Amino acid sequence: MGFKSLLASLLLVSAASAQLTGHVGPTTALSAKQVTICNVLNYGGTVGSADIGPAISSAFTNCVLKNSGSTLYVPAGNYNMKTWVTLNGGTKWAFRLDGLITRTATTGGNMIAIENANDFEFYSANSAGGIQGLGYQCRNAGPRLIRMVTSTNWSLHDLILVDSPEFHLVIQAGSNGEVYNMAIRGGNLGGSDGVDVWGTNHWIHDVEVTNRDECVTVKSPANNILVERIWCNQSGGSAIGSLSDGTAIENILYRNVYTNGGNQAFMIKSNLGSGYVRNVLFQNFISRGVAYGLNVNQYWSSQSPGTGPGVQLSNITFQNWNGNVADGVARPPVQLICADGAPCYDITLSNVNMWSQTDKAIIKCESAYGSGIACIHSGSSHTSYAIVTQSATRPAGYSTPTTMPGDLTAGFATNAAIPTPTIPTSFFPGLPQISPLAKNK
């Protein structure tokens, strides 16, 4: 998918706004990784296995690592898993997961961790493979589902992740990764992050997340990250953060993000700390019935304070936003609460039309400099100022936000199994997915 990913990014991402610095995804075609098929059924596994973990490890050690251009293959069917696997190394290989793996142990860590892979593809050819975490049985006391660690030139796609006891997908550092065509279903509570990503030159697109925590969130350190065509469907919403001491985030682009219900349309969150977030564009956001809308909060009370005076936010633009919050007086559709010790500057709101379902709203600003909202200050001298709260009027450009087929009216229960979904073919109103589902190729 690497060459196709590059072509898609060149066609669909303008040179002026794209934040990727080069190719993403594998450097060789998937067919080049099918010279040797390392089928887990030949390494001790069976369909219906009580623990497919050892067979995955054996197929990797005894087949993948000995044969460049190989595919570790879990055929369609149901498998239980109680032994977690860390697959470390390997070049020019793939992991084809067509079956559904169900967690049966409560050990912490990661059910499947991929470390230090290069030219790697993790996918489901039938667009139905994945992991059922049954998180309701051990909430916040079990494993994460998948973790990509310091890997380069890779992709992960066409997988379904359901009800992790902890986070669903973590992208830890590395570079040139691509995640797409994913459906993630978590419980309606915190600690159920959909996608957390940090590193260099990663592209996340065409992902649906249901949970009550992070949808697709950038962590520190990160640079040159492109996130687009995201459907936060009764989710906590996407964010940058939480941020604290030593933050280093720059050259980030979020665009075409649709949020139906949940905590926020988008949030930048920190509590004091140090470092920077700079050169960020949030473009083409639609939200409906969220608690908060555009939310910058550098005194976020759910986070322990850092030791520095504040993370410096600069050159951040919010462009083409339309949506509403549930109650715009209780929680503003727009608030920019910046650190008094590090006032944010060059904050631009352009064509931002956020309103309230109650038809009443306020806006808030603190130590924020820029343009596009009444409460923000202008000028080149960036001194702190106390919070400003103003009554807001309905923006002239506001319209009732559109909907998506498949919009949920509520999140999933936290004390019962969550059903396995199918992967959608559209993740933002009016736009098709960038790459077709694997099963449709």
Catalytic residue ranges: 213
Asked whether the beta carbons of 239 and 265 are under 8 A apart, the reply is: no
Amino acid at 18: A
**Rounded alpha-carbon distances, angstroms, from residue 311 to 12, 277, 316, 349, 416:** 32, 7, 13, 20, 40
Longest dimension (CA), the chain: 68
* 12: nearest Cα among 229, 183, 176: 229
Asked whether the beta carbons of 303 and 264 are under 8 A apart, the reply is: no
* 148: nearest Cα among 67, 74, 213, 202: 202
E strands present in 165-263 = 169-172, 175-185, 195-210, 216-235, 238-243, 247-262
CA 199 to chain centre: 13
**Distance between terminal CA atoms of the chain?**
12
* 235: nearest Cα among 116, 97, 408: 408
SS3 at position 440: helix
Residue 6 phi/psi, 5° resolution? -60, -45
In the structure encoding, which two tokens stand for residue 154, read together?
Answer: 């890779």
